[in-house]
Amino acid sequence: MKVSLFITCLVDMFQSNVGKATVELLERLGCEVDFPEGQICCGQPAYNSGYVKDSKKAMRRMIETFESAEYVVSPSGSCAFMFKEYPHLFRDEPVWAEKAQRLADKTYELTDFIVNVLKVEDVGATLEKKATYHTSCHMTRLLGVTDAPMKLLRHVKGLEFTPLPRKHDCCGFGGTFSVKMSQISEQMVDEKVACVEETAADVLIGADCGCLMNIGGRIGRKNKPIEVMHIAEVLNSR
């Protein structure tokens, strides 16, 4: 099965280890992974800030870049969801709308792809840690991926899992929200860190690098002894 990796800006610039884990994991599961070098930002930051016309330039580039892909897989529920929004945004441009729909139909968040396309729930991972899991807003509420991460984590050998209190609360990242509304964002992430501490977990796991960067940054500033891991890194642990 051929998979084209949609790496996302945050992984590309800040968390390349997540990209590496994603590729190694997919290859171990029998996928042939390629990396279309024409990819750029999916346009979400500009779109969410109200610059719809400008954001479409990036969107068209992404549609063209992944046009020949068999499957598009991303280690980010938020960015994968943005591809799902493209057909709606190009609804008044029939040619682009058709291309956008083809891209949306073949795009998957990593755990969703593993569980629902590859039909795998045990990837053979081992991690001797006590962990909890943060459910990101875009991935759960908009993309609708809720069960796949838990199905995979349940099969990680040695992982002691504790549910996160108030798990559906936003961490305060929200892309540009954390910059424009920094004081509110800070209070929200402080509440999230307190909930993580309540579980006494060694590791906080998540599937969106934006959330993990935000929560992990606050954990670091507070000097809390809690490790932050993307679920791709957990599933790639042997």
pLDDT score of 79 more than 90: yes
pLDDT score of 181 more than 90: no
Average of per-residue pLDDT across 197-211: 96
Does residue 230 sit in helix, strand or coil? strand
**Tens of pLDDT, residues 12-50:** 999 999 999 999 999 999 999 999 999 999 999 999 899
Say what the pLDDT of residue 186 is: 93
Say what the pLDDT of residue 175 is: 78
Q: What is the band of 102 on the pLDDT scale with cuts at 50, 70, 90?
A: very high
Contact 152, 111 (CB under 8 A): yes
Residue 134, burial from CB neighbour count under 10 angstroms (0-12, 13-18, 19+): buried
pLDDT score of 84 more than 90: yes
Say what the pLDDT of residue 174 is: 83
- 142, containing H or E segment: none
Average of per-residue pLDDT across 169-181: 85
This prediction has a pTM of 0.95
The dihedral through the CA atoms of 23, 128, 144, 176 has a sign that is: negative
User: Domain segments of the chain: what residues?
Assistant: 2-116, 130-235
Please give the CATH number for the structural domain made up of 130-235.
Answer: 3.40.50
Please tell me the total number of residues recorded for the chain in this structure: 238
Say what the pLDDT of residue 204 is: 98
Q: What is the band of 176 on the pLDDT scale with cuts at 50, 70, 90?
A: confident
pLDDT score of 80 more than 90: yes
